[in-house]
Amino acid sequence: MTQAPRGPVHVTGEVLASKRVGAYWHLTLVAPGVPERFRPGTFVALSTGPGRIARRAMWIHRIKPTGGYGATIELVVEPVGPGTEWLVGLPVGARLEVTGPLGRPWAMPKESVSCVLVGEGYAAASLFPLAERLRERECAVTLVVAGADEAHLLSALEARRSARAVTVVTGDGSIGRHGAVADVIKEVLDQARAEVVYAAGPPATLHAVAAAAEQAGAWSQTALEAPMPCATGLCQGCAVPVVGEDGVGRMVRACTDGPVFRGDRVRWDDLEAPA
Amino acid sequence: MSVVLAVDLAGLTLPNPVLVASGCGGTGRELAGFGAFDGLGGFVTRSITVGARPGGDAPRIVETPSGLVNAVGMQNPGIDHFLATELPWLAQRQVPVFVSIVGRSLGEYAELARRLGRSPGVAGIEVNLSAPDAPGTQVFDVREPFHAASVVAAVSRDLPRGMPILAKIRSDVVRVVESARTVLDAGAGAVVVGNALPASMPDGRPGGLSGPAIRPLVLRCVTEVHAEVPEAQIVASGGIVDAHDVRAFLGAGATAVQVGTALLHDPITATRLVAELGEDR
């Protein structure tokens, strides 16, 4: 087996497709060098037009082989501000600067274990390629897909193909169970006899999952989302309070030291309520 | 044919006039991951303090038109950790390393100078005399040029003879000529003009504005310092993005430039600038 190339690249990408699904846009990009370096949990940083200096970090949702272009990356974008609105407005063929894949990926279990994957909103994007890899390792995969409403539920149909069991949770009860991840997580972990829990979503959700995992005696990994001005480890703008292996608290970078952290290493209270 | 880019700065010969600005190049390793470290004209570390600093609260950096406002709070691991874990890697490269220092007192500046001055791999010291939020970050307040001069003098006394000091002053058009003259008289080999400018975060906390938004201000400052203190060696820093910007600053009298915020947008900016400057025009 040949060694996969390592490290991120900074390239000019091209929009191959842009499709709206519910509240999100699925953006397919040609970004030479990125697909072969991808591992589930990594992300890309995008430039979003003149005058906007900060990058926009986006989870890589999947790698797709595409005839004539080599492999492409698919991102899930929720237009929430001028940068993301610029992104979803890009026509097919538009060019943009892409840096990636960035960040530490999800850590894979060495053995076949029972895994629960929890994704809320567009952050669930990084869990689908993870589910595939886990199934290749013969891990039992249980998915929890959550969102504010049906429009903010990512790929719930696909989830049913990727996992042994799927729980759908919406804030308004429009589909699946009514409530939040925190309301269902204990039950899901118990039913799955989870040994490893992976979670991506807002900090409050990650905190709830990490706490439930701790109680259930499972390892948890959480993918943190912080605004990342550079996303490459240069600026120290995306600080995350953690407790190190040595028991000492410190601030680390979500982009480079994360975005995936062990759930029991993050100082959630400091993260959610900065002084 | 390629062009010879080497420049003499404060008694050193740099391979080219493009340096990485303090606080925008991480530890250096992050740039190296993109192949964007070797070949630089120089690397300035983030500002190092005597003790570790955890940095400020979130959000630390926000976008503003053509710029960023930051309140990172000078997060750094402190001099001990820097010497043990970051400098050795930097020292093994061929890129001249300038360690940026900041202190809460003249005594701290002197201590930093003493320890760095005898560390292999340090080409020079950049003294940060222009933190955009000095009171909030509890660093020695250098609001008046004579304060800045006292810092430079203190650092100078504790450095080995011949180790250059770059004094990073504020690109405040009203005071910049006086500041430059004063720090040069106190022993600085060159002035860096300048830092992020004092600004406000959206929530009212003090921060620093950087990026192309401040470039015209910095160009004015460089022009004035060059006109009034023609013997001064100037390193221009503020909103440099492309080779045209570099040539504009060199044309205004700068000896070298520092690239900062642009690296956060595109980590290979400085490397690309070196290549572009080297192409025959």
- Can you spell out the DSSP letters for B140-201? PP--SHHHHHHHHHHHHHHSPTT--EEEEE---TTTHHHHHHHHHHTT-SEEEE--PEEEE-
Q: Do A229 and B33 touch (CB under 8 A)?
A: no
Closest-CA distance, B205 to chain A, in angstroms, reads: 13
pTM (two decimals): 0.94
Q: Do A232 and B212 touch (CB under 8 A)?
A: no
Is residue B277 within 8 A of residue B3, CB to CB? The reply is: yes
Q: Do B264 and A233 touch (CB under 8 A)?
A: no
- Smallest CA-to-CA distance from B252 within B235, B266, B265 is with B235
Is residue A100 within 8 A of residue A60, CB to CB? The reply is: yes
pLDDT at A273: 63
3-state secondary structure B196-261: CEEEECCCCCEEEEECHHHHHHHHHHHHHHHHHCCCCCEEEECCCCCHHHHHHHHHCCCCEEEECH
Is residue A12 within 8 A of residue A34, CB to CB? The reply is: no
Query: What residues of B are in contact with residue A53 (Cβ under 8 Å)?
Result: 63, 66-68, 211-212, 261, 264-265
- Mapped onto helix, strand or coil, the DSSP state of residue A260 is strand
Work out the angle between the directed axes of helices A181-192 and A203-216 (0-180°, nearest 10).
Answer: 30
Burial of A194 (0-12, 13-18, 19+ CB in 10 A): buried
Burial of A135 (0-12, 13-18, 19+ CB in 10 A): middle
Q: Do A232 and B59 touch (CB under 8 A)?
A: no
pLDDT at B280: 59
Q: Which two tokens stand for residue A133?
A: 């890899």
Q: Which long-range contacts (CB under 8 A, 24 or more apart) does A185-188 make?
A: A185/A118, A185/A144, A185/A209, A185/A212, A186/A212, A186/A215, A186/A216, A188/A116, A188/A142, A188/A144
Residue type, B194: G
- Smallest CA-to-CA distance from A70 within A26, A28, A115, A110 is with A28
Is A97's Cβ below 8 Å from some Cβ in B?
yes
Burial of A121 (0-12, 13-18, 19+ CB in 10 A): buried
Is B137's Cβ below 8 Å from some Cβ in A?
no
- Smallest CA-to-CA distance from B50 within B120, B104, B131 is with B104
φ, ψ of residue B18 in degrees (nearest 5): -110, 110
Query: What residues of A are in contact with residue B24 (Cβ under 8 Å)?
Result: 234-235
pLDDT at A3: 63
Q: Do B63 and A230 touch (CB under 8 A)?
A: no
Closest-CA distance, B53 to chain A, in angstroms, reads: 10
pLDDT at A275: 45
DSSP 8-state symbol, A5: P
* pLDDT lower than 50: segments of chain A: 1, 275
- Smallest CA-to-CA distance from A78 within A130, A10, A179, A147 is with A147
Count contacts between A and B (CB, < 8 Å). Answer: 94
Predicted ipTM > 0.90: yes
pLDDT at A50: 87
- Which B residues in the span 52-71 are in contact with A, Cβ-Cβ below 8 Å? 54-55, 57-63, 65-68, 70
Is A256's Cβ below 8 Å from some Cβ in B?
yes
User: If you compute the radius of gyration of chain B from its CA atoms, what whole number of angstroms results?
Assistant: 17
Q: Which two tokens stand for residue A10?
A: 């900074």
Query: What residues of A are in contact with residue B34 (Cβ under 8 Å)?
Result: 7-10, 232
Specify which residues B237 forms β-bridges with.
Answer: B258
Q: Which residue of B has its CA nearest to A235?
A: B24
Closest-CA distance, A248 to chain B, in angstroms, reads: 12
Query: What is the pairing mode between strands B97-101 and B234-237?
Result: unpaired
Q: Do B267 and A234 touch (CB under 8 A)?
A: yes
pLDDT at A10: 96
Cα–Cα dist B235/B16, whole Å: 12
Cα–Cα dist A162/A154, whole Å: 13
Query: What residues of A are in contact with residue B211 (Cβ under 8 Å)?
Result: 53
Is B264's Cβ below 8 Å from some Cβ in A?
yes
* pLDDT lower than 50: segments of chain B: 1
Is residue B33 within 8 A of residue B53, CB to CB? The reply is: no
Is residue A230 within 8 A of residue A237, CB to CB? The reply is: yes
Is A248's Cβ below 8 Å from some Cβ in B?
no
**A126-181: per-residue pLDDT in tens?**
999 999 999 999 999 999 999 999 999 987 667 777 788 899 999 999 999 999 99
Query: What residues of B are in contact with residue A55 (Cβ under 8 Å)?
Result: 264-265
Closest-CA distance, B185 to chain A, in angstroms, reads: 33
Cα–Cα dist A10/A101, whole Å: 9
